[in-house]
Structure 1
Amino acid sequence: MRIISGDKKGLPLKAVPGKDTRPTTDKVKESIFNMIGPYFEGGKGLDLFAGSGGLGIEALSRGFNEMIFVDRDMKAIQTVKENLRSAGLSEQAEVYRNEADRALKAIVKRDLSFDGIFLDPPYKKQKLESMLLFIAEQGLLANGGFIMCEHGSDVRLPEQIGPFSCARNETYGMISVSIYKAADDEGGTE
């Protein structure tokens, strides 16, 4: 695993020890960023099921200003912190150990919104539709923002979830990636 592009291109990333975390492969990560836009001019992001932090760190390398990383596993949190340190990105990050649902509720209390939200929950325990509805109800996605959902290719997410429309969906073997945007952003999803 490595950072694919941006300021920190080529920097290796550590994986979370053990078999409980499934890192996004470099090939899928590159495809995700080709779908959402390869580079960014600022922005705040949320990597909700952070694992090793690969998606959020990639977004920081490609121009996001700041990122909040959340994972419930202590080994994952330690790995995210190590990867941020080695990339020199710790100052641009907040890292929390928490369950995803509880973390979202805590974020609501802080009155934050995000330009990019990365959701890559364990495939067997996905509640992506209810999470997207909660994100919509609480106004957690900034105007013009995106939500990236990584899920098993056997999972079919609806074209429309609340105010969000699926702008892109791609499948890579056993993995699918769905990108959601607000349906009314700039006259539709592009």
Structure 2
Amino acid sequence: MSSRRDASPGRIRIIGGSLRNSRLDVPDSPGLRPTAERVRETLFNWLAPMIEGARCLDLCAGTGALGIEALSRGAAGVQFVERDARAAQALRDNLMRLKASAGQVSVQDAAQFLQGAPQQNELVFLDPPFALQLWSPLARQLEQGGWLTARAWIYVESPRHGPPELPAHWQLHREGHAGEVRFALYRRALPLS
């Protein structure tokens, strides 16, 4: 059982779908924490009924393992956002090698990216560097900026203790723990007007 710290640098593998067993090169970059295989497997078991054809946003993408796993399992497209130029280039290289043309990479800070013109997404991966404490501000931007469909799914990865403050209408669907990491899937449920 590997933790995110154990997986970097080196290689990690895609665990399901058309790209199953493909390896992703992981650069040696400070703070990069690829989501553990066991966590990705659990998450994508949860997402199995809704991933086909979904439009996805992978904020603070890092290695892009979550978004590439989504593409492998039939997502219509994934917008990857990564501020570290080295990590973003490694992600582009992996997408090119895997011929995953439905993945687009933006080298940009997530908060700046969310100030741009929105495209609604059915699924968002929100896994910022833990030290930066960005969950709440990014969640507000996702809500206020028009980035989510009315019933979007939002995956949030955070430290095990002290879950982040998120919008009240993001209803917890499922959650789990792996070491010091809490991973949770939320469903956006807007109140009826």
**How far apart, CA to CA, are the structure 1 residues paired with 2:145 and 2:91?**
27
RMSD: 1.9
1:174 is matched with which residue? 180
Contact 1:44–1:66 (Cα < 8 Å) also in 2: yes
1:94 is matched with which residue? 104
Deviation (angstroms), 1:184 = 4.5
Matched pairs, number: 181
**Structure with the largest fraction of helix:** 1
Query: Deviation digits for residues 49-74 of structure 1, max 9, x if unmatched?
Result: 11111110000000101111111101
Contact 1:38–1:62 (Cα < 8 Å) also in 2: no
Residue 115 of structure 2 aligns to a residue whose secondary structure is: helix
Amino acid at match of 2:183: V
Amino acid at match of 2:96: R
TM-score (norm 1): 0.87
Deviation (angstroms), 1:148 = 0.5
Residue 102 of structure 1 aligns to a residue whose secondary structure is: helix
Q: Gaps spanning 5+ residues in structure 2: where? A: 1-11
Identity %: 30
Answering whether residue 41 of structure 2 is matched by residue 34 of structure 1, we say no
Correspondent of 1:161 among 146, 153, 167: 167
**How far apart, CA to CA, are the structure 2 residues paired with 1:39 and 1:96?**
25
TM-score (norm 2): 0.86
**How far apart, CA to CA, are the structure 1 residues paired with 2:20 and 2:76?**
16
Written as runs of structure 1 = structure 2, the 5 A alignment for 1:100-179 is 100-106=110-116, 109=117, 111-158=118-165, 161-179=167-185
Contact 2:160–2:182 (Cα < 8 Å) also in 1: yes
Deviation (angstroms), 1:155 = 2.7
**How far apart, CA to CA, are the structure 2 residues paired with 1:57 and 1:39?**
16
Residue 146 of structure 2 aligns to a residue whose secondary structure is: coil
